[in-house]
Structure 1
Amino acid sequence: MFLVLQLAIIVLSFIAHEHEAIAAYVPDYSSLVFPIHKHTDAAKPLYSVEIMTAYVNMQYLHANFLIDVDAPFIWHDCIVQWNIYPGSCPPDKLCTSPVSCDEYQCTDVRTSYSYQKPYCSPPKNESISPGWGYCSCSVNVVDPVTGSCGQAKLNYWDDFTVNVSNGKNVLTGVYGVYPYAACAPSSAFQSFPANVTGVMALSSSPYALPAHLLEPLENVIGLCLPSTLSTSGVLFYGNSPYYLLPQKDVDVRSYLSYTPLIKHPDSFGYFIDVNNIVIKKRSISIPANATTKISTLDPYAILRTDIYNRVIRRFSMVTKRIPPAKPVPPFGLCFSTQSGLRVPDIDFSLPEGKKWTMSAANSIKQVTKDVACLALVDGGATSEPAIVIGSFQMEDNFLVFDLENSTFGFSSSLLRKQTSCSNFNFTLVES
């Protein structure tokens, strides 16, 4: 009996020691890091995140996925197979195992996600696998470019690989990610930019990418969209120091202000409260029940008509010395730029006295050599949400979606800090 007790004490001590070692483990990286690319060869400007999808012939294959901060799950060009064995997958495809329509994950995704559109037909269980008797889990997906409905097959555990970072460089280690995703046929991506073959969900959904990146990092997304095609922006995951050249010793978090993230009952996306829009010291009040959404798919800010008209009227008044130009759709206020263009900032006033400033770089879109337009779009009289912050307004702004504390951080334009979203040093260094 005494010997058994001694053995039990030794085993328990060993387990306790192992738990302490795991708890004490501190990785040599502080975040995950992804390059972001801008695309203008689709119907609207879009941004993709680059990830590693497979390890073939001693090297990683790379793929680009459109960034969607509202999508409930990842979906991409791949094939689901019930029986995967060597040689069964086409050499130019990714193959994964399907989720059965009888499994709880299928029911959960179908009933809880917010991607249901009134015009989408309910998904059907019609894919029967020969010799198995199981049906795969069909789910609706919506093309982020055209808005059209499609169907994909939910799958188990995609195998993605991600670079790790210390906030200044890419380190030599990698991080494995195994999210649920859905496979769609190649034809589903015809409207996408060239070399973009999926949608990367960065929402708060339990099936989006952040839900699969928790340990040992905090659930925090740092997003910095580039303004040019020739250089990459950067996406961080983890509450890391973030550094952008040339200020190699300045943590970008020191530039940020924060405001609460607001939950929306019908969306996994991100919403904030905007109290007023201020243009040259004149405040335009926003109705208390109006919601403001952050969107990586809408290229320009969208305002409900009552708000849009007051903003246009005020901006026209303070720029009346600038020669007007014929409006270029979808914009309603345009200017001649032949003699230069100086316009005031637009401040989005937030709770607790915070303000997100849109300088000319994020409020004026150059549409031709001689014409520039205020990058706001009339969303209509019943637009919901009342305000959408589009991707043009987000370029060269460092944004943080802190899902740990339900807060949203924003820097306003980094150009005024003599840096940009294209200034992360992607040089690989030894960890």
Structure 2
Amino acid sequence: MSFPIQLIIVFLAFISNEHKAIAQFVPPYSSVVAPVHKHTDAAKPLFSVQVMTTYVNLQYLHANFLIDLDAPFIWHDCILEWNSFPGSCPNNTLCTYPVSCEEYQCTDVRTTYSYQNPSCPPVNNDSTIPDWGYCTCPVNVVNPITGLCGQALLNYDEFTVNTSNGKNVFTGLYGAYPNAACAPSSSFESFPANVSGVMALSSSPYALPAYLYDPLKRIIALCLPSTLSAPGVLLYGNGPYNLLPRSDVDVRSFLSYTPLIKHPGSFGYYINVTSIVIKTRSVDIPKDTITKLSTTEPYTTLRADIYNAVVRRFLKVTLRIPPAKPVAPFSLCYSTSTNGTETSIKVPDIDFSLQDGTKWSISTTNSIKKITKDVACLAFVDGGASSEPAIVIGTFQFEDNFVVFDLENSTFGFSSSLLRKQTSCSNFNFTLTDSP
């Protein structure tokens, strides 16, 4: 065999082995991770996720974004620059590159993946960046706190998060490059302090999950904290998921699953609640009722007919608890004071019976809201006679529950209260460690 042929064979063997090595490479992380904070300084309790937005002076800047399961795309406080260069961006400002009105993303977002709100006016291409003359891409956005419509400019963005194996947070980073939108700072005046954006976690192809690729699985794990003092956690990717003090236990072992249901005209997440059971007695739910999962509504809202039936049943099983004057927005409240001494109350679980026979148990900590030292209320709200969807499960019912939106299998996983498992959403270990 001639030397050139031998050389070719050796070279092909080297290439083959290198491809095998690449194919066999398994990254040390199974997910990406970010802390979740609770806020009570706005019109209603809200939750934000913290991500890294830009690299300045050898360090990443961090920003907090409201978690929104419905939003079609991310939008936040930033400004656009056609030609960024060192020093061109004002101090304490995030600058990004604009999407032109002539690019396909502009038409796609406007026509198919935009906010559907009758209060939003039509958008046009008149907007330009000063001194450049190129058209930008205005898009409508809806404030999740006020419900008011505004405008933002579509951009090319960059977000960075830490990687994780579900138990540890690694120093290794993961970058995502979504088409987000820049809104003026005034758009966030109603937001909690230090929150300057909306993080879309919906099924839209312009929400954050659409920009997180292999090896990450399309699975959102969310654990909302009940306290302001310690964060909860957002993980995207496959498990395991571990919480202290039982770091050897995979939280997935606590989960039950039910199918996610698509709802026309929405990018949010829905499930099928077939009945609401309180101490073995069932409140039947009309057959075509759908249930929405929300991270922007603070309390579970029920259509009036369902709400009234739940309240009647709840009154019967809590007859021994002294009533108290209702406190808006709640209509059923209890006294938590006996002869001037504060006492705790315990009520029966409220079970959401779901498709395929699973049940999501709402325990006292997620059904009774402490208002003052003397008053606590049933944390369910009357949505009115024409409320649509008929059931919206809000964040108070999510607190210290580990939930999973499995977009791979179109299922929703839920743990019920982690407090019964001697842990909580504030028990994820965020201590940074090097990748193995």
TM-score by length of 2: 0.94
Alignment of 1:28-427 (within 5 A): 28-113=28-113, 115-129=115-129, 132-156=132-156, 158-339=157-338, 340=343, 341-427=345-431
Task: Verify the 8 A CA contact 1:263 1:270 in the aligned structure 2.
Answer: yes
Q: Report the alpha carbon displacement of residue 14 of structure 1 after superposing the two structures with TM.
A: 6.6
Q: Secondary structure at the match of 1:105?
A: helix
Structure 1 pair 427–129 and aligned structure 2 pair: CA distance change class (3 A)? closer
Q: 1:20 Cα deviation (Å)?
A: 3.5
* Alignment check: 8 A CA contact 1:114 1:267 kept: no
Question: Which whole-Å CA distance do the structure 1 matches of 2:8 and 2:140 have between them?
Answer: 53
Deviations 1:88-131 (A, max 9, x none): 21121111111111211011111112522011111221212456
Q: How many residues align?
A: 429
User: Would you say the 8 A contact 2:163–2:172 is kept in 1?
Assistant: yes
Q: For the Cα contact (< 8 Å) 2:114–2:140, is it kept in 1? A: no
CA distance in 2 between partners of 1:308 and 1:3 (Å): 85
1:349-377 CA-partner distances (Å, limit 9, x unpaired): 01121000000110000111100000011
Give the whole-Å Cα distance in 1 for the aligned partners of 2:3 and 2:136: 54
CA spacing shift, 1:100–1:313, aligned 2, 3 Å: same
Aligned residues of 1:292 and 1:385 also touching (Cα < 8 A): yes
Amino acid at match of 1:136: T
Query: One-letter code of the match for 1:305?
Result: A
**Separation (CA, whole Å) in 1 of partners of 2:168 and 2:272:** 34
Output one character per residue of 1:7-63: Cα deviation in whole Å (capped at 9) or x when no partner.
998887776555443332211112111001000000000000011111222221111
SS at match of 1:357: strand
Q: What is the CA–CA distance in structure 1 between the aligned matches of 2:376 and 2:295, rounded to whole Å?
A: 22
* Counterparts in 2 of 1:184 and 1:16: CA distance versus 1, 3 Å: farther
Residue pair 1:114, 1:266 contacting (<8 A) in 2 also: no
For 2:7 and 2:397, the matched residues in 1 are separated by: 64
Structure 1 unaligned blocks of 5 or more: none
Q: More displaced, 249-258 or 106-115?
A: 106-115
Contact 2:349 2:364 survives alignment (8 Å): yes
- CA deviation map 1:324-349 (0-9, x unaligned): 11111111111111144221100000
Asked whether the equivalents of residues 336 and 371 of structure 1 are also in contact (C-alpha less than 8 Å), the reply is: yes
Query: Are 2:188 and 2:196, in contact at CA under 8 Å, matched by a contact in 1?
Result: yes
Q: CA deviation at 1:3?
A: 12
How has the CA–CA distance of structure 1 residues 130 and 193 changed in structure 2, closer, same or farther, with 3 Å as cutoff?
A: closer
Amino acid at match of 1:42: A
SS at match of 2:308: helix
Q: Distance in 1 between matches of 2:366 and 2:327?
A: 17
Q: Deviations over 1:122-160 (max 9, x none)?
A: 12212124565421000001111111111000001x121
Separation in 2 of the partners of 1:123 and 1:252?
Answer: 45
Aligned-pair Cα RMSD in Å? 1.9
Q: Deviations over 1:68-107 (max 9, x none)?
A: 1111111111111122222221121111111111211011
Distance 1:107 1:286 in 2: 40
What is the CA–CA distance in structure 2 between the aligned matches of 1:165 and 1:184, rounded to whole Å?
Answer: 31
Q: For each residue in 1:219-254, what CA deviation from the matched residue of structure 2 results, as whole angstroms up to 9, or x when unmatched? A: 101100000000110111111201111111000000
Distance in 2 between residues matched to 1:104 and 1:3, nearest whole Å: 54
Distance 2:4 2:136 in 1: 50
Q: State the Cα distance separating 1:422 from its structure 2 match.
A: 0.2
Further displaced range: 331-340 or 372-381: 331-340
Residue aligned with 1:263, SS: coil
Same amino acid, percent of matched pairs: 72
> After the TM superposition, which of the residue ranges 110-119 and 415-424 deviates more from structure 2?
110-119
Unaligned segments of structure 2, at least 5 residues: none
Query: CA 1:127–1:10 in structure 2 vs 1: closer, same or farther (change >3 Å)?
Result: farther
Q: 2:295·2:395 contact (CA, 8 Å) conserved in 1? A: yes
Alpha-carbon spacing, 1:17–1:150, altered in 2? closer, same or farther (3 Å): farther
Q: Is the 8 A contact 2:218 2:236 kept in 1?
A: yes
Counterpart of 1:382 in 2: which secondary structure?
coil
Relative to 1, partners in 2 of residues 1:198 and 1:10: Cα closer, same or farther, differing over 3 Å?
farther
Cα distance change on mapping 1:219 and 1:12 into 2, 3 Å? farther
SS of alignment partner, residue 203 of structure 1: coil
Change (3 A) 1:325 1:219: same
TM-score (structure 1 length as normaliser): 0.96
Q: After superposition, give the CA deviation of every residue in 1:287-336 in whole Å (9 maximum; x if it has no partner).
A: 11111000000000000111111001100111111111111111111111
In structure 2, the CA distance between the partners of 1:114 and 1:377, relative to structure 1 (3 Å rule), is farther
- 8 A Cα contact 2:30 2:215, kept in partner: no
| Residue identity opposite 2:197 in structure 1 | G
